[in-house]
Structure 1
Amino acid sequence: MELYLLLLVAGCLSGVLTILFGFAGGFVVVPLVYTTIRLHTDAGSMANELAFKSAIATSLLLMIINSALASYQQYKKGKLKWPYIFPLAYWIAVGAVLGTFASFYLSANFLKWAFVLYLVVTIVDCVFRQIKHPQQQQESSARLLTTQERSVGGVIIGAVAAALGVGGSVMTVPLFRRCGLDMSSSVALANPLSMPLAIAGTITFIVGYMFQPVVLGTHFIGYFYYPALLCLIVGGYIGMKIAGPWSNKLSNRTHERGYIVLLTLVLFSIL
């Protein structure tokens, strides 16, 4: 029971992070769902052995719901800049399919350290931007994404995020910041762009299960662990309601500093 209450709190936190920073909660969700499955299944059982895969699948499904709700809120506020979303979203979906399949075969250690390297570079870049541009830049000088950023960048974002079961905001937000968008706009764009990778990744898990079905137990639908999912959905909705009024109150500089802190916490959480 305690773990499910913790999942409810984690869901609330993921909702807050989704609204304020574009994080759909994967870094919070995956470890907790993994631990919950391991503790509630018999050692040596198929569910116990595939706990991490189930945690990623559950996180991706939750990401669809959180991202959709957050995107709707951003849409109502008029914050979605469509030229930045398409065609990048299509390439992210392609990358998500590749990343999900790759997660079945690639070394988890390789994925982990490649992502750690990316996070270090991104944190340094964000800190450097804070030093180089102490005053907020005008968003009117923002540029559109290049063809390479949309295609190659989109595939990489989708592949890495889907393979790790996390939202792509840790890559999309820095990408949009480099284009000159402010934090509020960058975070707003991160939410709808998390949806194609989450949808593609979830579908890939479903198809994979159809071709290689395994019996995980009564609390599973395919790879999805629905007791945890329900707690996370309820908590996420509450978290979004809490964070909604604050999304427009953070200054760009404070917003980015908070993002740097969050990226640093993510980095240490996976080391």
Structure 2
Amino acid sequence: MLRLLFAAYLLATLADTLLRKGFVSVAEPERPRPLGRGTVTFGGAGIGLVAAGLGVGGSVMTVPLLRRRGLPMAEATAMANPLSLPVAAAAGLVYALAPTGPAAGATGALSAGLGRLGYVDLGAAAALLLGSVPTIALLRRVTGRVPDRIHSAAYIALLVIVLIVMLALDF
């Protein structure tokens, strides 16, 4: 069920980025328009609730919001990506401290303790970290040189790829 909810979330975000003006190409204002107090309060809380409920970072919804306020793609993603850290930290802590084993309803590989901390696969976490840190170091030097329109199109393409893979795994 969670996977289908996340797919619906991606579909809504894709529809938002493609159907409403201001994501793929942003008119270059003299300066971005600030977010209003209501948007920061209620929008932030809404994004946080959806992100926490789905176990994802809020940047997928925050980037389109910041783009519509006039930020270039590189700045919108740079500002939105740190929002994933608190969600990831909280989720990681919950999964690491979650009881495992038959008493908790876990079966098979999930109840195995070797190489795991709760439901966190330490080997997979290490592989993700070892692969992502050098990639981040390399790409942060290149990101500023990517034209804004290509960066926004690539963002949409990445969301489409994630959606296709998720749907393919369900069928």
TM-score range relative to shorter protein: 0.7 to 0.9
Q: Which amino acid aligns with 1:226?
A: L
Cα 1:156–1:268, aligned 2, differ >3 Å: closer, same or farther? Answer: farther
C-alpha separation between the residues in 1 aligned to 2:23 and 2:126?
Answer: 43
1:240 is the counterpart of 2:131: no
- State the match for 2:66 in structure 1: 176
Q: Aligned residue for 1:61?
A: none
Aligned-residue RMSD, C-alpha: 2.6
Tell me if 1:227 matches 2:118. Answer: no
Equivalent in the alignment of 1:192:
82
Residue 157 of structure 1 pairs with residue 61 of structure 2: no
**CA–CA separation in structure 1 for the residues paired with 2:25 and 2:152:** 12
> Cα distance, 1:256 vs. partner?
0.7
- Percentage identity across aligned positions? 36
Q: Does 1:254 align with 2:145?
A: no
Superposed displacement of residue 254, structure 1? 0.9
Output aligned runs, 1:192-211, within 5 Å. 192-207=82-97, 209=98
Are residues 134 and 116 of structure 1, via their aligned partners in 2, closer, same or farther at CA, if it must alter by over 3 Å?
closer
For the residues of structure 2 that align with 1:112 and 1:133, how far apart are their CA atoms? 26
What residue number does 2:108 align with? none
1:134-149, aligned counterparts within 5 Å? Answer: 136-149=26-39
If each structure's helix is expressed as a fraction of its own residues, which one has the higher value? Answer: 1
User: Aligned partners of 2:40, 2:128: CA distance in 1, in Å?
Assistant: 31
Give 2:165's aligned residue: 269
Structure 1: state its 5+ residue gaps.
1-108
The one-character-per-residue Cα deviations of 1:87-129 (angstroms, maximum 9, x if unpaired) are xxxxxxxxxxxxxxxxxxxxxx2x4444433333332332345
Q: Distance in 2 between matches of 1:242 and 1:134?
A: 25
- Say if 2:95 and 2:119, in contact at 8 Å, map to a contact too: yes
Asked whether the 8 Å contact 2:96–2:118 carries over to 1, the reply is yes
2:55–2:87 Cα contact (<8 Å) kept: no
Higher relative contact order (CA 8 A, sep 6+): 1
Alignment-derived partner of residue 119 in structure 1: 10
**Structure 1 residue 261: Cα displacement:** 1.0
Maintained 8 Å contact 1:169/1:191: yes
Q: AA paired with 1:264? A: V
Do the aligned residues in 2 keep the contact of 1:139 with 1:182 (CA within 8 Å)? no
Hey, what's the Cα distance between the residues in 2 that align with 1:250 and 1:270? 28
For residues 149-174 of structure 1, give each alpha carbon's deviation from its aligned partner in whole angstroms, at most 9, with x where no partner exists. Answer: 32333233233334444332211111
| Secondary structure, aligned partner of 1:266 | helix
